């Protein structure tokens, strides 16, 4: 009784498209049986790549278009001139229910703009938020917003918490994900007016008085992200983007220093060879490709942005997230939850 799941793929988005898109789908095909693929892009380029993968070909279809949105185009220009592009048509296929969700490794701003335009917002949601997984000692956490908005008011932060909650329930399978609100201290008096007010609203929503209790942990600080103090990290798009990239930069610095360390002496080299299986495990654990796939929450359809520079393995993970969202009826669940609690979020107390 499995329903048919179709994922639309912008085959022309990303640094090494369409190669990594097809290769990524081939990897995803092995892990997610029963998923169908719609490739949008230049058929003469996609077809020969697809023919190398017999199993994938059986569940795939190509929708040809010559148009491609370039990596550096402004969102407004994409809206005006990109209507026949692989990205736009892939997003439209979700609106037209030909696909349950879409993945693109192309221009983030253009993908956000076309998604908002074509699919609209989930009723009641004011602002989209970009969400992604991050590694923690015990697994992973979800952080949002990662940069869809430069500024976020109190009602946006509260909605991010609700969307993050629905997202963690559906994709991580957590029954009561713990929600943290990012701040510069954990006392109620710390931070900006918006975070303090959002704290008050979320605190109220986490009490038993409401019919939609959230598991709200309270304020957390930057170091809590990587420590996995909460399952969900809620923040405005500015500090969320800064924090995400600060974490990425630190990981890179560490990897570079680790490499230097290994090259330090002949003993270090031998030592590293002996410990290689252990280091491979460490590498796998923090592999950024494993966390590839940022979700545009709030959009009325499942839209996932893959990193433009990822490889087939990374792209297959972005497909996996999309397939999970479709499989678990994510959009319907968020829609229901928003409807159920709208009186709480938009009450006069805010």
Residues near its own copies, by CB under 8 A: 74, 135-137, 147, 150-151, 182, 184-185, 189-192, 221-227, 235, 237-239, 241-254, 256-258, 260-262, 264-265, 267-268, 270-279, 281-282, 285-286
Give the C-alpha separation, 67 to 117, whole Å: 18
Q: What share of the chain is helix, strand, coil (3-state, %, to 5)?
A: 50, 20, 30
CB 62 within 8 A of CB 350: no
Q: Smallest distance, Å, CB 102 to its own copies?
A: 23
Give the C-alpha separation, 189 to 108, whole Å: 36
Q: Smallest distance, Å, CB 301 to its own copies?
A: 24
Q: Considering the complex, state which of residue 74 and residue 340 has its C-beta at the smaller distance from its own copies.
A: 74
Q: Considering the complex, state which of residue 44 and residue 250 has its C-beta at the smaller distance from its own copies.
A: 250
Task: Report angle CA 116, 120, 124 to the nearest 5 degrees.
Answer: 120
Q: Smallest distance, Å, CB 17 to its own copies?
A: 22
Chain centroid offset of residue 14 CA: 16
CB 236 within 8 A of CB 145: yes
CB 304 within 8 A of CB 318: yes
Q: Considering the complex, state which of residue 31 and residue 276 has its C-beta at the smaller distance from its own copies.
A: 276
Task: Report angle CA 11, 240, 259 to the nearest 5 degrees.
Answer: 75
- Nearest CA-CA partner of 195 in 213, 182, 212: 182
Q: Considering the complex, state which of residue 238 and residue 346 has its C-beta at the smaller distance from its own copies.
A: 238
Give the C-alpha separation, 181 to 342, whole Å: 20
Q: Across the strands, what pairs with 299?
A: 121
Q: Considering the complex, state which of residue 261 and residue 349 has its C-beta at the smaller distance from its own copies.
A: 261
Q: Considering the complex, state which of residue 66 and residue 151 has its C-beta at the smaller distance from its own copies.
A: 151
- Can you give 79-122 as a three-state secondary structure string? HHHCCCEHHHHHHHHHHCCCCCEEEECCCHHHHHHHHHHHHCEC
CB 87 within 8 A of CB 10: yes
Q: Smallest distance, Å, CB 15 to its own copies?
A: 17
Q: Smallest distance, Å, CB 234 to its own copies?
A: 12
Q: Considering the complex, state which of residue 79 and residue 247 has its C-beta at the smaller distance from its own copies.
A: 247
Q: Smallest distance, Å, CB 294 to its own copies?
A: 13
Q: Smallest distance, Å, CB 215 to its own copies?
A: 21
Q: Smallest distance, Å, CB 342 to its own copies?
A: 28
Q: Considering the complex, state which of residue 65 and residue 235 has its C-beta at the smaller distance from its own copies.
A: 235
DSSP for 274-294 reads: HTHHHHHHHHHHH-GGGG--E
């Amino acid at each position: 009784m499995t329903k048919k799941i179709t994922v639309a793929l912008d085959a022309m988005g990303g640094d090494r498209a369409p190669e990594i898109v097809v290769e990524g789908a081939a990897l995803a095909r092995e892990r997610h049986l029963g998923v169908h693929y719609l490739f949008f892009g230049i058929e003469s380029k996609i077809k020969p790549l697809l023919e190398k993968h017999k199993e994938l070909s059986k569940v795939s279809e190509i929708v040809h278009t010559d148009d491609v949105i370039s990596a550096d185009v402004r969102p407004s220009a994409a809206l005006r001139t990109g209507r026949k592009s692989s990205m736009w048509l892939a997003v439209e296929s979700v609106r037209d229910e030909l696909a349950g969700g879409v993945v693109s490794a192309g221009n983030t701003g253009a993908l956000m703009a076309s998604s908002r335009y074509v699919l609209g917002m989930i009723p009641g949601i004011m602002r989209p938020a970009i969400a992604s997984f991050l590694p923690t000692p015990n697994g992973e956490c979800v952080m949002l917003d990662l940069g869809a908005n430069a500024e976020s008011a109190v009602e946006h932060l509260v909605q991010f918490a609700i969307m993050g909650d629905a997202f963690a329930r559906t994709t991580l399978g957590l029954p009561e994900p713990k929600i943290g609100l990012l701040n510069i201290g954990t006392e109620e008096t710390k931070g900006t007016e918006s975070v303090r007010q959002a704290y008050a609203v979320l605190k109220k929503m986490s009490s038993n008085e409401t019919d939609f209790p959230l598991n709200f942990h309270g304020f957390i600080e930057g170091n809590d992200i990587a420590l996995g103090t909460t399952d969900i990290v809620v923040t405005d798009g500015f500090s969320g983007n800064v924090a995400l990239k600060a974490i990425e930069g630190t990981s890179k610095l560490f990897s570079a220093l680790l490499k230097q360390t290994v090259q330090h002496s002949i003993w270090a080299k031998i030592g590293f060879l002996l410990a290689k299986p252990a280091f491979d495990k460490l590498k796998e654990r923090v592999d950024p490709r494993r966390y590839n796939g940022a979700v545009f929450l709030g959009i009325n359809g499942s839209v996932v942005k893959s990193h433009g520079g990822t490889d087939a393995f990374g792209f297959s993970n972005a497909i996996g997230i999309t397939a999970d969202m479709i499989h678990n009826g994510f959009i319907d669940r968020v829609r229901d939850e928003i409807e159920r609690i709208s009186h709480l979020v938009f009450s006069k107390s805010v």
